[in-house]
A = this chain, B = another copy of it.
Amino acid sequence: METILLALELIGTAAFAVSGAFTAVRRDMDVFGVMILALTTAVGGGVIRDLILGLTPPRTFQHPVYALISLCAALAVFLIARRGGTEKSTGPYALTMLVMDSLGLGAFTVSGIGTAADAGQDGLFLLVFVGVVTGVGGGVLRDVLAGETPYIFRKHVYASASIAGALLCAALLGENETLALTLGMAATVLIRLLAAAFRWNLPHAGKGAGGGAP
């Protein structure tokens, strides 16, 4: 399991770092601000995961690879944004942000489950809960630090995509770990992308049964 877990985690780290760097660039932060927000987003979920599981110091503090990947991704985003496109709210920007955030969400959801299982946990509820908190943690930190309403409250299918992927991953974990992690991540990413593509909505309390305020 180690190899596939590490691979998915590194993908998630790079993807979340890009999403953090994008957010920082859009807020016109300097190169250090971009790196810090990228790093926080990329390692935040993993640190929370390890603290919850009592694995101290968190893995991120022990292996420089996570920070290194984050900083390289941040620098790349910064340089590209500096050279070229500063149209920060147009299609390509929004699409990249969606895909990167979804990849991070999916990767860290299954990373939470895999790490918890490695640490000897086997309850379904705990595995799923740790997975979801790990998955959404980095993005929540990113948005709170950037002064924005967290995605988890803005995007209609976000935590639910993570929960669905977590349930699938935890259910398959006993059978085949590589399959469980891969499918769990794929399910999370797919549900999130489909939700964005088809603008799935969940009901609001403010919207009455028929009509309501304009």
Contact = CB atoms under 8 A, between A and B. Distances in A.
A34 B156 contact: no
B28 A206 contact: yes
Given A31-B203, A62-B126, A67-B125, 7 more contacts: A32-B159, A32-B160, A61-B130, A81-B205, A82-B208, A145-B150, A145-B153
Interface string A123-162: 1011001100000000010001111011011001111100
A30 B130 contact: no
Number of copies: 3
A86 interface: yes
Given A56-B51, A57-B130, A125 B64 contact: yes
Contact of A204 (B29, B36, B125): B29
A53 interface: yes
Q: Kindly name the residue among A60, A64, A82, A206 whose own CB sees the greatest number of chain B CB atoms within 10 A.
A: A206
Contacts of A24: 153
20 contacts: A25-B205, A29-B204, A30-B201, A32-B160, A32-B202, A51-B56, A52-B56, A52-B57, A52-B61, A53-B56, A54-B54, A81-B205, A81-B206, A82-B203, A82-B207, A82-B209, A86-B205, A145-B153, A146-B153, A147-B149
